[in-house]
Amino acid sequence: MQPGGAAFAIAADVRAGRRSAVSVVTGVIADIEARDTRFNSVTRILGPAAVAQAEDVDRAVAAGRDPGPLAGVPFGVKDLFDVQGEVTTAGSIVLRDNLPASRDAAVVARLRAAGAVPVATLNMDEFAYGFSTENAHTGTTRNPHDPACLAGGSSGGSAASVAAGLLPFALGSDTNGSIRVPSSLCGVWGLKPTYGQVPLQGVYPFVASLDVVGPMASTVEDLQAVYTIMADRSPMALPDVGSVRVARLGGWFASNISPEMAAGIDAVMAHLGGDRVIELPEVARARASAFLITAAEGGNLHLPRLRLRSMQYDPATRSRLMAGAMLPAATFVQAQRFRRWFRARVHEALAQADVLVAPITVGVAPRIDQPAIIVDGKSVSARANLGIFTQPISLTGLPVLAVPLAVAGMPLGIQLVGAPGAEDRLFAVAAELQRAGLAACRPLGAGYARKDS
């Protein structure tokens, strides 16, 4: 575990017998029950199972056995991760009659083996198809920093639960930006690992070509520790940040951003000493390809159910999936061919820099009653367009660390994009930005940090 993180502090206390895992877990559950009515980030509390696992942790401590590096640390999972004994809903009533999961998703099992305790499932856009966590079945998740605003999505419950201080970390999935967008709007740390690196076993699928799972956390230390366990990696020795070549992405990624976002990126680049600007070619077509692959694969996945019971779907999801299911093969294949071409261009850029800096969103969270953003001078749907800067990067499968900028007012986040498998460089830069005070997650009162009375 990394010193300095909220999860580290909990685990250190539990391992040393200063707090019991049961008191941590029951305290967090009580906190969720008391405060989440404002945010709607949690869909289910896993009370009895969580307490039972916490009792196991406490027994291990009492017996002198190693309870794991995350002993007694509570966490939540987006409602598409299998949790043993629970029905995985993927944010929909369409799957509600499925049998409960017979075992945990692989990453949940790894975290549980490390002593962490899943205490809640978290809200999301239905089947992860959206950027806003507006869900006809489970309601809209509200931004803890201003409940009148969107939390972003589709992992909105995960981001909001961390930003609210309900949980020290949570798991999300990212197909087109679903970890990064809510991380930006809620001001939390997030990681989209390299495509294919972290197992998806037991995660309800959306788009096989793009799906990735990763953590969201209140400190970069916790983000790194949880990622290391999820990926079953050895603890990382981070490179000297001075040896990491950093450039900012221009062109598409410099357009449409708010003055606050522009100023935040300027400050980051000034601190890191990188004045290189790289412009990727054909970014609009990269985004189009991600959009089309998503629509085609998502539509195909749901086609059998759409034929039989389409009216059970959230209306917004239904229409998008139906349109995607009808896409011609020629369009899908062209998008997959373009992906190959774009990959080569991005690798050319990565020969010039180790880390590419880009905005996550155009600006701060839109209001729930005005769910739109301005792109190219037009007001467009937030649900469909909050990912204009994340979708082109999703197409590449590169690792991206979402950094919450230390700004006044509503949160804003930036993407640190790295080469495949080079998460260590992203963490080196992120840690430096946190150390320098340019990046910070500022959760509301963290109930999990309160010691037993």
Q: What is the largest CA-CA distance in the chain?
A: 64
**Residue 376: exposure state from Cβ atoms within 10 A (0-12, 13-18, ≥19):** exposed
Question: Applying CB under 8 A, does 398 fall inside the site for another protein?
Answer: yes
Find the binding residues for another protein in span 65-94 (CB under 8 A).
none
Is 78 annotated as catalytic?
A: yes
Q: Please, what is the minimum distance in Å from the beta carbon of residue 260 to another protein?
A: 19
- Residues 45, 372, 444, 449: which binds another protein (CB under 8 A)? 372
* Residue 343 in the binding site for another protein (CB under 8 A): yes
Segment contacting another protein by CB under 8 A, of 143-151, 259-267, 317-325, 430-438? 317-325
Q: Does 397 bind another protein (CB under 8 A)?
A: yes
- Selected range binding another protein among 45-53, 153-161, 232-240, 379-387, rule: CB under 8 A: 379-387
Residues in contact with another protein, counted by CB under 8 A, come to a total of 66
State in angstroms the smallest separation of the CB of 418 from another protein: 10
What burial class does residue 377 get, using C-beta atoms within 10 Å of its C-beta: 0-12 exposed, 13-18 middle, 19+ buried?
exposed
Binding of another protein at residue 285 (CB under 8 A)?
yes
Residue 313: CB minimum distance to another protein, A: 9
Residue 396 within binding range of another protein, rule CB under 8 A:
yes
Cβ-based nearer residue to another protein, 142 or 320: 320
Active site residue 173: no
In the block, residue with structure tokens 């000034």: 270
419 vs 441 by CB, closer to another protein: 419
Choice among 178, 184, 209, 218 that is catalytic: 178
**By CB under 8 A, residue 406 contacts another protein:** no
Active site residue 394: no
One of 96, 309, 337, 451 touching another protein (CB under 8 A): 337
Site for another protein in 34-63 (CB under 8 A): none
Identified catalytic residue from 20, 41, 78, 158: 78
Residue 331 near another protein by CB under 8 A: yes
Give, as ranges, the residues between 170 and 199 that touch another protein (CB under 8 A). 194-196
- The reply on whether position 405 binds another protein by CB under 8 A is no
CB of 412 to another protein, least distance (A): 19
Q: Which entry of 20, 23, 92, 154 is annotated as an active-site residue? A: 154
Q: Is 209 in the site for another protein (CB under 8 A)?
A: yes
Q: Which residues are catalytic?
A: 78, 154, 178
Residues in contact with another protein by CB under 8 A are: 194-196, 209, 250-252, 254-256, 279-285, 287-289, 291-292, 295, 303, 306-307, 310-311, 315-316, 318-320, 322-328, 331, 333-341, 343, 372, 375-376, 378-381, 383-385, 388, 396-398, 420
